[in-house]
Amino acid sequence: MIPVQGYEGRKVGVLGLGRSGLAAAAALEAGGAEALLWDDSQEARDAAEGRGFTVTKLTRDMDELAALIVSPGIPHLYPAPNPVIEAALRAGVPVDNDIGLFFRSFATPEWSELDVTPKVIAVTGSNGKSTTSALIHHCLEVAGKPCQLAGNIGRGVLDIDPAHDGEVVVLELSSYQTDLARSLTPDVAVFTNLSEDHLDRHAGMGGYFAAKRRLFAEGGPDRAVIGVDEAEGLYLANQLSEGMVDDQVIRVSVTGKVGGMGWNVTAKKGFLAERRKGKQIGSIDLREMRGLPGRHNHQNACAAYAALRSLGIAPRVIEKGFESFGGLPHRSQHLGEKDGVTFVNDSKATNVDSAAQALQAFQNIRWIAGGLGKEGGISSLVPHLDSVKKAYLIGHSARDFALEISDTDYAICEVMERAVEQAFEEAEPGDTILLAPAAASFDQYPNFELRGDAFAAEVKKILAR
């Protein structure tokens, strides 16, 4: 646990009692503060009281609070502030979150006795931030570096252990987290990409980009790794750079060669190349990296490579880490092979953009798709269906999807068991059975993880035959 500094002997409100809220409350009390908790859910309040915390309606105690700590899922501005947050804003109570508490509390006076100062790598972006964060952490482990993984992935940021000598903490941060944190001071900050998401929470793309940009503007990282394949990333890299040869900014691209004499990491046709001052100084063949299939994962690999190189990790060590990286569950996860047929679980592909990335990563696809379709349907996927031999459609939107996939062959399977079995019966050696639903899971499963687990369970039966 990271005890929170700066609130000893003072009352601090905690709004939202999920994983991050309860961890923040414990860390505040470990640092000598008095935590006062609230959640709209009676069940959550009862659970907090059962752990010994003080639960109270925070609007009654606002004048006594030194700060209000808010969980990520609670809106503080758009589409409208939560009433407790609005009360704090009107009372002048500083509003923060667990990320802000982490950055103000991670460094301690004891660090003066360490030989190598600990570092923090923070990763944000619309897509790929989980894979990028996990890949960085995995490569650090391969390199023998002490490291921890936290944030949206791994442990809560205040749940991690106090830093060891030379340790690296890798944080995955969402826009909800970067938008509100009052302190953001990573040593290395990574921006993967930007695409439309959470627009109601940020009142449009401008607000969404502004939330991501805070990670780079508030504290000024020593190194910034920026994906420049979208206009926003290109603009951000330009804002942070002092000139063409400024190596504070490492530009990442998978759409073409980055110009200039700066520090760049690019991937073209599966080959990663690192260039600095116009000279290539490192390269990796990504084509056979089973845990990193497709261009979207090549972008993740470039971002991870750049972050690791900024810490001085050698290219060959990074390549070794890439080779042994198994991928994250439900994200282009290789489950196994049977009779020449490969099974891939990308249940996290809950929208057309992420499904398109998965469909471009493989050949000879037998595509399992469907669920609770989203606004706009999936007709925009038609240009990406050239490698699909047949679609096996499940869930609430199966018949709607069938009408939108042009002349692609399909079967209405409705349930996962039937889809997997029929796809395997019809598959030929060299085919890939890919779960990339392009839809939410809530018609049949509580979340995409359980949908992916259901797919994996059916695949396990086949592999055991």
CATH number at 367 reads 3.90.190.20
Question: Distances in Å between the alpha carbon of 108 and those of 5, 117, 120, 341, 381?
Answer: 9, 11, 14, 53, 51
Q: Quick one: average pLDDT of 157-171?
A: 95
The span from the CA of 180 to the CA of 196, in Å, is 20
What are the tens digits of pLDDT across the range 249-287?
999 999 977 877 899 999 999 999 999 988 999 999 999
Whether 340 contacts 407, CB under 8 Å:
no
The span from the CA of 17 to the CA of 65, in Å, is 18
Sign of CA dihedral 218, 314, 138, 149: negative
**Number of residues that this document lists for the chain:** 465
CATH of the domain at 158: 3.40.1190.10
Q: Is 128 annotated as a binding residue?
A: yes
What are the tens digits of pLDDT across the range 371-381?
999 888 999 99
Is position 4 within any domain? Answer: no
Which of 290, 324, 358 is at the close of a domain?
324
Pure H helices in 92-174: 98-105, 129-142
Is position 3 within any domain? Answer: no
Domain span holding position 157: 102-324
What is the chain's mean pLDDT, rounded?
A: 94
For residues 299 and 388, membership in a common domain is answered with no
Q: What is the residue whose two structure tokens read 């990308």? A: 346
Residue 155 has pLDDT above 80, yes or no: yes
Q: What integer pLDDT is reported at residue 211 of this predicted model? A: 93
Which of 70, 96, 122 is at the close of a domain?
96
Q: Is 125 annotated as a binding residue?
A: yes
* Closest C-alpha to 187, from 91, 308, 273, 321: 308
Q: What integer pLDDT is reported at residue 345 of this predicted model? A: 96
Pairing relation of β-strands 34-38 and 54-55? Answer: parallel
Confidence of residue 330 (pLDDT cuts 50, 70, 90): very high
Q: Is 256 annotated as a binding residue?
A: no
For residues 412 and 385, membership in a common domain is answered with yes
Residue 170 has pLDDT above 90, yes or no: yes
For residues 47 and 173, membership in a common domain is answered with no
Residue 196 has pLDDT above 90, yes or no: no
| Lookup: tokens for 166 | 């030379």
Is position 431 within any domain? Answer: yes
Partners of residue 34 on adjacent β-strands: 11
For residues 52 and 109, membership in a common domain is answered with no
Confidence of residue 139 (pLDDT cuts 50, 70, 90): very high
For residues 316 and 381, membership in a common domain is answered with no
Which of 67, 96, 125 is at the close of a domain?
96
Q: What integer pLDDT is reported at residue 200 of this predicted model? A: 85
For residues 168 and 265, membership in a common domain is answered with yes
For residues 351 and 440, membership in a common domain is answered with yes
For residues 317 and 180, membership in a common domain is answered with yes
Is position 2 within any domain? Answer: no
The span from the CA of 224 to the CA of 25, in Å, is 32
Q: Is 175 annotated as a binding residue?
A: no
The tally of domains found in the chain comes to 3
Is position 24 within any domain? Answer: yes
Is position 1 within any domain? Answer: no
For residues 300 and 343, membership in a common domain is answered with no
Is position 243 within any domain? Answer: yes
For residues 224 and 312, membership in a common domain is answered with yes
The span from the CA of 218 to the CA of 162, in Å, is 24
Q: What integer pLDDT is reported at residue 258 of this predicted model? A: 84
* Closest C-alpha to 272, from 244, 241, 240, 304: 304
Confidence of residue 3 (pLDDT cuts 50, 70, 90): very high
For residues 256 and 121, membership in a common domain is answered with yes
For residues 140 and 224, membership in a common domain is answered with yes
Q: Quick one: average pLDDT of 125-135?
A: 93
What one-character-per-residue DSSP string does 357-422 give?
A: HHHTS-SSEEEEEESBPPTT-SGGGGGG-TTEEEEEEESTTHHHHHHHSTT--EEEEESHHHHHHH
Q: What integer pLDDT is reported at residue 425 of this predicted model? A: 97
Q: Quick one: average pLDDT of 89-95?
A: 96
Residue 326 has pLDDT above 90, yes or no: no
Is position 65 within any domain? Answer: yes
Mean pLDDT comparison of 90-99, 188-197, 273-282, highest-scoring range: 90-99
| Lookup: tokens for 244 | 């063409």
Q: Quick one: average pLDDT of 71-86?
A: 94
